[in-house]
């Protein structure tokens, strides 16, 4: 039976990652495909303890409907943590708690985009954002991006001919490339968008997962005109299943986001918001983040070391200093989907890079996640993948 549906659904595609993840469910498959944090790092015992206290002392509110903006004490805690870690000066009133930062992306699409509007993004960019924005039928323009971030001259040149509704950027340990923008690029970028008065969505779930080097200031901390909406998340530094993220934005933008969220889910889970707030108050989140970084640093080293040893020398890859992902570019003309077929025969999986480019192309690229598997499995997986690459 064919039923008439909205035109916009035609431009939306099932996430290629989710389709590939189905193939990786088999036991024995070494998967570098998903974006999953390593589950043994979830503080389940501590959460059990705080949950018992919340339900005993505050059960009526924890299980009740609540304001759309979010749980007051959590908004306070998020603003304080963000100011301490990302160099911003936001207040609790500028924070909207969202159901993951993914919801912030969808809400931003909802309030900013009419069909045909232009969105500027990095090249490549996060597939989940491409999919969220696509529902609102924009036209994507990729800004050339290198190891230091968006190239300012290219951005400037594009702005001579395009009027984007916003620029979407992931400056810290980007998904999918693992790249981190340099300080000079951040400054140059903010100078340009400020001069042109272009809103920015700064998507920042990985900045705290830095394995080495100094923290760099967020774009939001350099924002003098209220142009930057900052999307944060507890998914990568805590637990994604709670679905707690936030957007920090200027009051005018925040008010519209709140209205958009009312239509989506009324508010983020009252219980989950309290769980995060209680954990932040009673435990040491920084120690938890350190533990995660220590684990992922070893895994990053295992993957990079194995790739240096095993991979053909005619491909290049990023050496990320934080986050979850590493990006591989094979010789021009090679197709990551053909490599994936071979890899799956050898029970190892990854995500081909092409879907991370909204304007198409780049079939010769792929993304690897080093966060989920332990060192020995990473080394075994890279050896298998190198075998697949040689065959293709
Ligand atoms: C760049 C980026 N933004 C947003 C998200 C969504 O995260 P969440 O909704 O769990 O906060 C992810 C998840 O992988 C991501 O990589």
Give 143-175 pLDDT, tens digit per residue: 999 999 999 999 999 999 999 999 999 999 999
233 lines ligand 1 (CB under 6 A): yes
Tokens of 45: 């015992």
Question: What is the 3 CA–ligand 1 centroid distance (Å)?
Answer: 32
Whole-angstrom distance, CA of residue 119 vs CA of residue 141: 6
User: 3-state DSSP call for residue 214?
Assistant: coil
Whole-angstrom distance, CA of residue 303 vs CA of residue 309: 10
Question: Which residues does 185 contact at the CB level (< 8 Å), separation at least 6?
Answer: 148, 149, 150, 152
Q: What is the DSSP letter of 227?
A: -
pLDDT in tens, 322-342: 999 999 999 999 999 999 999
pLDDT score recorded for residue 23: 74
**Under a CB-based contact definition with an 8 Å cutoff, are residues 173 and 323 in contact?**
yes
Nearest Cα residue to atom 5 of ligand 1: 102
pLDDT score recorded for residue 282: 96
Whole-angstrom distance, CA of residue 392 vs CA of residue 386: 10
What's the average model confidence in pLDDT over 105-113? Answer: 98
pLDDT band of residue 180 (cuts 50, 70, 90) is very high
Nearest ligand 1 atom to alpha carbon 99: 9
Q: Which of 15, 21, 101 to mutate to test the pocket of ligand 1 (most atoms within 8 A of CB)?
A: 101
pLDDT in tens, 206-239: 999 999 999 999 999 999 999 999 999 999 999 9
pLDDT score recorded for residue 241: 96
| Position 138 pLDDT exceeds 80 | yes
Question: What is the 101 CA–ligand 1 centroid distance (Å)?
Answer: 6
Q: What is the DSSP letter of 70?
A: -
pLDDT score recorded for residue 27: 82
Q: Which of 98, 126, 170 to mutate to test the pocket of ligand 1 (most atoms within 8 A of CB)?
A: 126
203 lines ligand 1 (CB under 6 A): yes
Query: Based on C-alpha coordinates, what's the Rg of the chain?
Result: 21
Nearest ligand 1 atom to alpha carbon 235: 10
Question: What is the 138 CA–ligand 1 centroid distance (Å)?
Answer: 20
pLDDT in tens, 4-18: 888 888 777 776 677
128 lines ligand 1 (CB under 6 A): yes
Mean pLDDT (the chain) is 95
pLDDT score recorded for residue 9: 82
pLDDT in tens, 247-260: 999 999 999 999 99
Show the 3-state SS of 247-263.
EECCHHHHHHHHHHHHH
pLDDT band of residue 90 (cuts 50, 70, 90) is very high
| Position 1 pLDDT exceeds 80 | no
205 lines ligand 1 (CB under 6 A): yes
pLDDT score recorded for residue 2: 80
Nearest ligand 1 atom to alpha carbon 324: 16
270 lines ligand 1 (CB under 6 A): no
């Amino acid at each position: 039976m064919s039923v008439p549906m909205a035109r916009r659904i035609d431009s939306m595609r099932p996430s290629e990652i989710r389709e590939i993840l189905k193939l990786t469910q088999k036991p024995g498959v070494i998967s570098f495909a998903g974006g999953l944090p390593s589950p043994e790092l979830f503080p389940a015992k501590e959460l059990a303890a705080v949950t018992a206290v919340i339900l005993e002392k505050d059960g009526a509110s924890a299980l009740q409907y609540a304001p759309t903006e979010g749980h007051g004490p959590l908004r306070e805690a998020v603003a304080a943590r963000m100011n301490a870690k990302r160099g911003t000066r936001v207040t609790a009133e500028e924070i909207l708690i969202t159901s993951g930062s993914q919801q912030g992306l969808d809400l931003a699409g909802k309030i900013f985009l009419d069909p045909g509007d232009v969105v500027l993004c990095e090249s490549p960019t996060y597939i989940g954002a491409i999919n969220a924005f696509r529902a609102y039928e924009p036209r994507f323009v990729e800004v050339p991006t290198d190891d230091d971030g968006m190239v300012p001259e290219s951005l400037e040149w594009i702005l001579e001919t395009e009027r984007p509704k916003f620029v979407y950027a992931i400056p810290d340990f980007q998904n999918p490339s693992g790249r981190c923008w340099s300080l000079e690029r951040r400054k140059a970028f903010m100078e340009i968008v400020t001069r042109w008065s272009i809103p920015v969505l700064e998507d920042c779930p990985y900045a705290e997962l830095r394995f080495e080097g100094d923290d760099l200031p967020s774009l939001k901390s350099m924002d003098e005109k209220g142009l930057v909406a900052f999307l944060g998340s507890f998914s990568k530094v805590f637990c994604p299943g709670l679905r707690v993220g936030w957007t920090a934005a200027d009051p005018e933008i925040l008010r519209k986001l709140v209205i958009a969220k009312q239509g989506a889910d009324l508010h983020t889970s009252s219980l989950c918001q309290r769980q995060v707030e209680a954990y932040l108050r009673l435990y040491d989140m920084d120690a938890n983040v350190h533990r995660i970084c220590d684990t992922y640093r070893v895994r990053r080293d295992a993957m990079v070391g194995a790739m240096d040893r095993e991979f053909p020398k005619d491909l290049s890859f990023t050496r990320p200093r934080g986050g979850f992902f590493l990006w591989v570019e094979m010789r021009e003309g090679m197709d990551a989907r053909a490599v994936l077929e071979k890899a799956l025969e050898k029970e190892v999986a990854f995500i081909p890079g092409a879907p991370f480019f909204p304007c198409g192309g780049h079939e010769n690229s792929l993304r690897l996640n080093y966060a989920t598997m332990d060192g020995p499995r990473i080394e075994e997986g890279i050896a298998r993948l190198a075998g697949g690459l040689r065959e293709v």
